[in-house]
Structure 1
């Protein structure tokens, strides 16, 4: 009776779509069935308290209902009791002191170190200008963890070969310095020499197209998607996957969380802590934090 009246209110007074009304109906019918088990077979909203709602949450979670779905059901129930309060049927909303379960954040997708080694050290890149450039794009993203917008904005003057530091301009024009290893230095030198010989003066941008125009974020995405497509087990292929891979590899190989936070340009340590999802099983004591730096004689994390 109460639920039917509420659904009519949603349908005719609030003009909710039939799909939305049916979703509310399903959630509320489920709660009604559960509540009846605790109210001698009769659903009486006035007798519903926070304990019944909390027990229902536990029941749903034990039935393997995802936290996001549980929270949606609680939202439906909260709206229902707000309606009942307006109608004077109940004096308080029993959900006012009830918190829903925290939904698990999606873990960052990353490439296995062995797959990255095979991709970067294999013979899949041509030796022409675009092949050298594309390999450098993948290497820069994986070795430094920078965003694709940051990579697209790199200038020649941002590379300090003597100190082996890259100056990156991130969000809100905040700048940070990222160290790089000998192997990446060699690749940068090879690329710049080839670019200058074949393309000529390019106005200061590090990465350019064959036309001499600066490369943009869409170009970088296309290159990464194509190259990561060579890893058959990988279902997600984007520049951000390489950023995730950088952070995961750093932590798995002994880098401190706060140091990785600074390298990524995160404002909050909480943003970086999600990358610890694999470290508990894979963490090993090593001298160099990043596998590429260790392999090619660099000194990440030192």
Structure 2
């Protein structure tokens, strides 16, 4: 079978049966199309049966040396090729695995960048004092990110039917359309009510997006990034230092730091008392991580339950 035909079948499978998001589908298509182009550029056969690990290694070498792809990008492309190969084998489109023996490059483990408590407080106070047009939207938008740990795309896709102000919960659709129900921080209830009341009636229909741009259209990732950089500058924080994803890291990192009790003795020495056992699975559920291993980067975080974790914020 031809590579392109198999790729079309694979993407359809991911969309219909796996219910993957448009962003995920786009990533798979981009990675696999790069490999397809590599085969054609080098006058290689594009039949699945003619593919082999040696060709894949040459493709990886080209991506690294000629196109200067970063290790994270190379890992993603290898992962995409492995998923594609596994699908083709399962569907009996080919008889041998052309990804056999291919290993992903090792990556340096880095601790996530996040704001400290003082920086978050500075950001939130600035949002509260802003009187420019759309300032209420910005306050609701970035406080919601900072108090739930939602991904940027999850917030962009948010509709009013996902927010239950009566039960103080928010239903989030994560990667692969997986649902997770999160408790809203108490500070968000009056803010969201006020923001909702400021909108036109048709804009608060259950299926309408919660956050819109200045033209009344659903906000997009690029526009949201621009707004966040402007908000950082107004708050006196370096715009090059933080991104929207860092709000997610901030949420996870600060939760357990605030769950530790702090006492000071007569000599002025600070003592920390772990009040309850660390529960990484709670953090995993809050962040929507598929694997607990992904969550383990936040092992300095300490909390018991979702509601207690959310309400432990002190702003």
> TM above 0.5, one fold?
yes
**Of 275, 278, 301, the match for 2:298:** 275
Instruction: Output the TM-score relative to the length of structure 2.
Output: 0.54
Distance, in Å, in 2 between the alignment partners of 1:134 and 1:125 is: 11
RMSD, aligned α-carbons: 3.3
Distance, in Å, in 2 between the alignment partners of 1:112 and 1:128 is: 26
Corresponding pairs, count: 194
**Of 206, 216, 231, the match for 2:210:** 206
Larger radius of gyration: 1
Alignment of 1:137-286 (within 5 A): 137-196=141-200, 204-229=208-233, 230-232=235-237, 235-254=240-259, 256-276=279-299, 278-279=300-301
Alignment of 1:32-47 (within 5 A): none
Using the TM superposition, give the Cα deviation of residue 233 of structure 1 relative to its aligned residue in structure 2, in angstroms.
5.7
**Please, which runs of 5 or more residues in structure 1 have no aligned partner?**
1-13, 21-67, 69-101, 297-302
Using the TM superposition, give the Cα deviation of residue 115 of structure 1 relative to its aligned residue in structure 2, in angstroms.
1.1
**Please, which runs of 5 or more residues in structure 2 have no aligned partner?**
1-57, 66-70, 72-105, 260-277
- 1:295 aligned onto 2:314: yes
Aligned counterpart, 2:99: none
Distance 1:265 1:117, change over 3 A: same
SS at match of 2:289: coil
Distance, in Å, in 2 between the alignment partners of 1:136 and 1:250 is: 20
CA shift digits 1:5-48 (9 cap, x unpaired): xxxxxxxxx9x99xx8xxxxxxxxxxxxxxxxxxxxxxxxxxxx
Aligned counterpart, 1:133: 137
Using the TM superposition, give the Cα deviation of residue 293 of structure 1 relative to its aligned residue in structure 2, in angstroms.
5.1
| 8 Å CA contact retained: 1:144, 1:246 | yes
Using the TM superposition, give the Cα deviation of residue 122 of structure 1 relative to its aligned residue in structure 2, in angstroms.
3.4
Distance 1:284 1:269, change over 3 A: closer
SS at match of 2:180: strand
